[in-house]
A = this chain, B = another copy of it.
Amino acid sequence: MTVGKRKRLRSEMGSSTADRIVVRGHDLVEDLIGKVSLGDMAFLELKGRLPSRQESAVFNALAVTLVEHGMTPSAIAARLTHYGAPESLQGAVAAGLLGVGDRFGGSVEEAARTLQEALAGSDTGRPNLEELARQVIAAHKEKKRPIAGIGHPVHKPIDPRTPKLFAIAAENGFSGRFVQLMQAISAEAERAYGKELPVNATGAIGAIASELEIPWRVSRGLAVMARAIGLVAHLQEELDEPLAAEIWSRIEEESSSR
Protein backbone atom coordinates (compact mmCIF):
# COMPACT_ATOMS: atom_id res chain seq x y z
CA MET A 1 0.00 0.00 0.00
CA THR A 2 1.90 2.98 -1.31
CA VAL A 3 0.39 6.09 0.13
CA GLY A 4 2.65 8.34 -1.90
CA LYS A 5 0.79 7.80 -5.17
CA ARG A 6 -2.55 7.80 -3.45
CA LYS A 7 -5.18 10.44 -3.38
CA ARG A 8 -5.14 12.07 0.02
CA LEU A 9 -8.31 11.53 2.04
CA ARG A 10 -9.36 14.98 3.13
CA SER A 11 -12.55 16.26 4.71
CA GLU A 12 -13.55 19.67 5.94
CA MET A 13 -16.51 18.43 7.94
CA GLY A 14 -15.06 18.05 11.39
CA SER A 15 -12.19 16.88 13.55
CA SER A 16 -11.31 16.34 17.19
CA THR A 17 -8.37 16.51 19.51
CA ALA A 18 -8.27 15.74 23.22
CA ASP A 19 -9.67 19.12 24.23
CA ARG A 20 -11.22 20.58 21.10
CA ILE A 21 -13.88 19.62 18.56
CA VAL A 22 -14.08 21.52 15.31
CA VAL A 23 -17.08 21.47 13.01
CA ARG A 24 -16.82 23.17 9.63
CA GLY A 25 -14.05 25.36 10.98
CA HIS A 26 -15.94 26.45 14.10
CA ASP A 27 -15.11 25.41 17.64
CA LEU A 28 -18.11 23.30 18.58
CA VAL A 29 -18.06 24.13 22.28
CA GLU A 30 -17.04 27.79 22.12
CA ASP A 31 -18.92 28.93 19.05
CA LEU A 32 -21.83 26.61 18.35
CA ILE A 33 -23.39 24.81 21.32
CA GLY A 34 -25.74 27.26 23.02
CA LYS A 35 -25.16 29.88 20.35
CA VAL A 36 -26.74 28.49 17.20
CA SER A 37 -30.03 26.70 16.65
CA LEU A 38 -30.36 23.28 14.99
CA GLY A 39 -31.54 24.87 11.75
CA ASP A 40 -28.56 27.23 11.62
CA MET A 41 -26.27 24.29 12.38
CA ALA A 42 -27.74 22.52 9.37
CA PHE A 43 -27.04 25.61 7.26
CA LEU A 44 -23.46 25.66 8.53
CA GLU A 45 -23.04 21.98 7.68
CA LEU A 46 -24.25 22.50 4.12
CA LYS A 47 -22.74 25.88 3.34
CA GLY A 48 -19.58 25.95 5.42
CA ARG A 49 -20.55 29.20 7.13
CA LEU A 50 -23.26 30.37 9.49
CA PRO A 51 -26.32 32.02 7.95
CA SER A 52 -27.19 35.69 8.03
CA ARG A 53 -30.41 36.53 9.87
CA GLN A 54 -32.24 36.55 6.54
CA GLU A 55 -30.75 33.27 5.38
CA SER A 56 -31.63 31.69 8.70
CA ALA A 57 -35.26 32.79 8.38
CA VAL A 58 -35.57 31.40 4.88
CA PHE A 59 -33.67 28.15 5.49
CA ASN A 60 -35.56 27.33 8.67
CA ALA A 61 -38.87 27.97 6.90
CA LEU A 62 -37.97 25.46 4.19
CA ALA A 63 -36.88 22.84 6.69
CA VAL A 64 -39.90 23.32 8.97
CA THR A 65 -42.22 22.80 5.98
CA LEU A 66 -40.71 19.38 5.29
CA VAL A 67 -40.77 17.82 8.77
CA GLU A 68 -44.25 16.33 9.07
CA HIS A 69 -46.83 15.09 6.60
CA GLY A 70 -48.98 12.80 8.73
CA MET A 71 -49.37 9.10 8.00
CA THR A 72 -47.36 8.90 4.80
CA PRO A 73 -46.11 5.64 3.28
CA SER A 74 -42.77 6.54 4.81
CA ALA A 75 -44.19 6.91 8.33
CA ILE A 76 -46.18 3.68 8.00
CA ALA A 77 -43.09 1.81 6.79
CA ALA A 78 -41.12 3.11 9.78
CA ARG A 79 -43.83 1.92 12.20
CA LEU A 80 -44.05 -1.54 10.61
CA THR A 81 -40.28 -1.86 10.72
CA HIS A 82 -40.17 -0.91 14.36
CA TYR A 83 -42.73 -3.63 15.09
CA GLY A 84 -40.37 -6.28 13.76
CA ALA A 85 -37.16 -4.76 15.10
CA PRO A 86 -37.89 -2.81 18.28
CA GLU A 87 -34.21 -3.01 19.23
CA SER A 88 -33.25 -0.66 16.45
CA LEU A 89 -34.91 2.77 16.39
CA GLN A 90 -32.34 3.84 13.82
CA GLY A 91 -33.42 0.97 11.57
CA ALA A 92 -37.04 2.11 11.64
CA VAL A 93 -36.05 5.70 10.85
CA ALA A 94 -33.81 4.44 8.03
CA ALA A 95 -36.66 2.37 6.60
CA GLY A 96 -38.87 5.46 6.60
CA LEU A 97 -36.21 7.60 4.94
CA LEU A 98 -35.75 5.04 2.19
CA GLY A 99 -39.18 6.04 0.91
CA VAL A 100 -38.13 9.69 0.53
CA GLY A 101 -37.23 9.00 -3.08
CA ASP A 102 -38.20 10.07 -6.56
CA ARG A 103 -41.90 10.36 -5.79
CA PHE A 104 -41.61 12.53 -2.68
CA GLY A 105 -38.25 14.11 -1.89
CA GLY A 106 -37.36 13.70 -5.54
CA SER A 107 -39.87 16.33 -6.57
CA VAL A 108 -37.94 19.02 -4.68
CA GLU A 109 -34.79 17.84 -6.40
CA GLU A 110 -36.43 17.75 -9.80
CA ALA A 111 -37.83 21.26 -9.41
CA ALA A 112 -34.45 22.59 -8.25
CA ARG A 113 -32.70 20.82 -11.10
CA THR A 114 -35.04 22.21 -13.72
CA LEU A 115 -34.50 25.75 -12.45
CA GLN A 116 -30.75 25.47 -11.95
CA GLU A 117 -30.14 23.88 -15.33
CA ALA A 118 -32.37 26.34 -17.15
CA LEU A 119 -30.64 29.36 -15.62
CA ALA A 120 -27.15 27.85 -15.90
CA GLY A 121 -27.76 27.32 -19.60
CA SER A 122 -28.91 30.88 -20.03
CA ASP A 123 -26.00 32.79 -21.56
CA THR A 124 -27.07 36.24 -20.49
CA GLY A 125 -27.12 38.03 -17.19
CA ARG A 126 -30.76 38.99 -17.67
CA PRO A 127 -32.49 35.93 -19.07
CA ASN A 128 -35.95 36.13 -20.54
CA LEU A 129 -37.80 34.07 -17.96
CA GLU A 130 -40.96 33.60 -20.01
CA GLU A 131 -38.86 32.26 -22.86
CA LEU A 132 -36.98 29.92 -20.49
CA ALA A 133 -40.30 28.75 -19.04
CA ARG A 134 -41.62 27.93 -22.50
CA GLN A 135 -38.42 25.98 -23.26
CA VAL A 136 -38.80 24.01 -20.02
CA ILE A 137 -42.39 23.11 -20.85
CA ALA A 138 -41.54 22.18 -24.42
CA ALA A 139 -38.69 19.95 -23.24
CA HIS A 140 -40.96 18.17 -20.75
CA LYS A 141 -43.69 17.77 -23.33
CA GLU A 142 -41.25 16.24 -25.79
CA LYS A 143 -40.04 13.71 -23.20
CA LYS A 144 -43.62 13.21 -21.97
CA ARG A 145 -42.47 13.96 -18.43
CA PRO A 146 -44.52 15.83 -15.85
CA ILE A 147 -43.14 19.18 -14.72
CA ALA A 148 -41.98 19.05 -11.10
CA GLY A 149 -43.21 21.69 -8.68
CA ILE A 150 -46.60 22.61 -10.11
CA GLY A 151 -50.12 21.31 -9.43
CA HIS A 152 -51.27 19.28 -6.43
CA PRO A 153 -53.82 16.45 -6.09
CA VAL A 154 -55.13 17.61 -2.71
CA HIS A 155 -54.31 21.25 -2.11
CA LYS A 156 -56.63 23.11 -4.53
CA PRO A 157 -56.89 25.70 -5.88
CA ILE A 158 -53.55 26.50 -4.30
CA ASP A 159 -51.09 24.85 -1.98
CA PRO A 160 -51.28 27.09 1.11
CA ARG A 161 -47.59 26.63 1.82
CA THR A 162 -46.51 28.25 -1.41
CA PRO A 163 -47.58 31.89 -0.85
CA LYS A 164 -46.23 31.70 2.70
CA LEU A 165 -42.84 30.44 1.59
CA PHE A 166 -42.63 32.93 -1.26
CA ALA A 167 -43.56 35.75 1.13
CA ILE A 168 -40.83 34.77 3.58
CA ALA A 169 -38.34 34.55 0.74
CA ALA A 170 -39.35 37.99 -0.52
CA GLU A 171 -39.21 39.60 2.92
CA ASN A 172 -35.67 38.36 3.34
CA GLY A 173 -34.35 39.21 -0.08
CA PHE A 174 -34.43 35.73 -1.59
CA SER A 175 -37.07 36.18 -4.24
CA GLY A 176 -34.76 36.26 -7.24
CA ARG A 177 -34.58 34.63 -10.63
CA PHE A 178 -35.18 31.07 -9.44
CA VAL A 179 -38.43 32.02 -7.73
CA GLN A 180 -39.44 34.11 -10.71
CA LEU A 181 -38.68 31.32 -13.16
CA MET A 182 -40.69 28.85 -11.07
CA GLN A 183 -43.65 31.23 -11.20
CA ALA A 184 -43.17 31.75 -14.93
CA ILE A 185 -43.17 27.97 -15.47
CA SER A 186 -46.46 27.74 -13.59
CA ALA A 187 -48.01 30.55 -15.64
CA GLU A 188 -46.82 29.14 -18.97
CA ALA A 189 -47.91 25.63 -18.02
CA GLU A 190 -51.39 26.85 -17.15
CA ARG A 191 -51.54 28.45 -20.59
CA ALA A 192 -50.14 25.40 -22.37
CA TYR A 193 -52.31 22.83 -20.60
CA GLY A 194 -55.38 24.98 -20.05
CA LYS A 195 -55.81 24.16 -16.38
CA GLU A 196 -54.76 25.47 -12.98
CA LEU A 197 -51.19 24.43 -12.24
CA PRO A 198 -50.04 26.68 -9.39
CA VAL A 199 -46.60 26.30 -7.84
CA ASN A 200 -46.84 23.66 -5.10
CA ALA A 201 -44.78 23.38 -1.92
CA THR A 202 -42.04 21.31 -3.51
CA GLY A 203 -41.77 23.81 -6.34
CA ALA A 204 -41.48 26.66 -3.87
CA ILE A 205 -38.89 24.78 -1.83
CA GLY A 206 -36.89 23.84 -4.92
CA ALA A 207 -36.89 27.46 -6.06
CA ILE A 208 -35.99 28.96 -2.71
CA ALA A 209 -33.29 26.35 -2.06
CA SER A 210 -31.83 27.41 -5.40
CA GLU A 211 -31.88 31.02 -4.21
CA LEU A 212 -29.85 29.84 -1.21
CA GLU A 213 -27.38 28.30 -3.69
CA ILE A 214 -28.02 24.78 -2.53
CA PRO A 215 -27.05 22.51 -5.44
CA TRP A 216 -29.98 20.53 -6.84
CA ARG A 217 -28.20 17.23 -6.19
CA VAL A 218 -28.31 18.04 -2.47
CA SER A 219 -31.82 19.52 -2.35
CA ARG A 220 -33.44 16.11 -1.79
CA GLY A 221 -31.34 16.04 1.35
CA LEU A 222 -33.40 18.89 2.82
CA ALA A 223 -36.41 16.59 2.77
CA VAL A 224 -34.35 13.71 4.13
CA MET A 225 -33.00 15.62 7.14
CA ALA A 226 -36.36 17.16 7.97
CA ARG A 227 -38.22 13.86 7.62
CA ALA A 228 -35.76 12.17 9.98
CA ILE A 229 -37.17 14.43 12.69
CA GLY A 230 -40.74 13.57 11.76
CA LEU A 231 -40.00 9.85 11.71
CA VAL A 232 -38.50 9.86 15.20
CA ALA A 233 -41.69 11.55 16.40
CA HIS A 234 -43.89 8.99 14.63
CA LEU A 235 -41.93 6.20 16.31
CA GLN A 236 -42.42 7.86 19.68
CA GLU A 237 -46.17 7.85 19.05
CA GLU A 238 -45.95 4.23 17.89
CA LEU A 239 -44.20 3.29 21.15
CA ASP A 240 -47.06 4.83 23.11
CA GLU A 241 -49.97 3.80 20.89
CA PRO A 242 -48.91 0.98 18.59
CA LEU A 243 -50.67 0.77 15.23
CA ALA A 244 -48.37 -1.60 13.36
CA ALA A 245 -49.92 -4.87 14.53
CA GLU A 246 -53.38 -3.67 13.62
CA ILE A 247 -52.24 -2.49 10.18
CA TRP A 248 -50.51 -5.79 9.56
CA SER A 249 -53.41 -7.96 10.63
CA ARG A 250 -55.91 -6.10 8.46
CA ILE A 251 -53.74 -6.30 5.37
CA GLU A 252 -52.74 -9.91 5.89
CA GLU A 253 -56.31 -11.00 6.51
CA GLU A 254 -57.66 -9.27 3.46
CA SER A 255 -54.86 -10.27 1.14
CA SER A 256 -54.89 -13.94 2.07
CA SER A 257 -58.65 -14.49 2.12
CA ARG A 258 -60.10 -16.02 -1.02
Which residue numbers of A lie inside 8 Å of B, CB to CB? 1, 3, 6-21, 23-24, 28-29, 32-34, 36-42, 45-46, 56-57, 60-61, 63-65, 67-77, 80-81, 83-95, 97-106, 154-156, 160-161, 164-165, 167-168, 215, 217-218, 220-222, 224-226, 228-230, 232-237, 239, 241, 243-244, 246-248, 250-256
Contact = CB atoms under 8 A, between A and B. Distances in A.
B72 A248 contact: yes
Interface hub of A32, A67, A77, A167 (most chain B Cβ within 10 A): A77
A178 to B, nearest CB: 19
B84 A94 contact: no
A73 B67 contact: no
Interface hub of A7, A14, A100, A218 (most chain B Cβ within 10 A): A14
A30 to B, nearest CB: 8
Contacts of A234: 11, 13
B164 A248 contact: no
Contacts of A7: 243, 246
B80 A11 contact: no
Given A9-B247, A98-B92, A221-B235, A64 B41 contact: yes
User: How many monomers of this chain does the complex have?
Assistant: 4
B71 A252 contact: yes
Nearest to A246: B7
Given A70-B16, A224-B93, A34 B11 contact: no
14 contacts: A1-B3, A28-B65, A33-B65, A34-B168, A38-B60, A46-B232, A72-B84, A73-B83, A85-B98, A85-B106, A89-B221, A93-B97, A95-B99, A221-B235
Interface hub of A75, A156, A222 (most chain B Cβ within 10 A): A75
A230 B32 CA distance: 14
A36 B229 CA distance: 15
Contact of A41 (B21, B67, B106, B239): B67
Contacts of A67: 23, 38, 41-42, 45
Given A15-B256, A218-B232, 14 more contacts: A6-B250, A9-B71, A12-B237, A14-B69, A17-B154, A18-B156, A21-B160, A28-B65, A37-B37, A81-B99, A84-B98, A93-B221, A215-B239, A221-B235
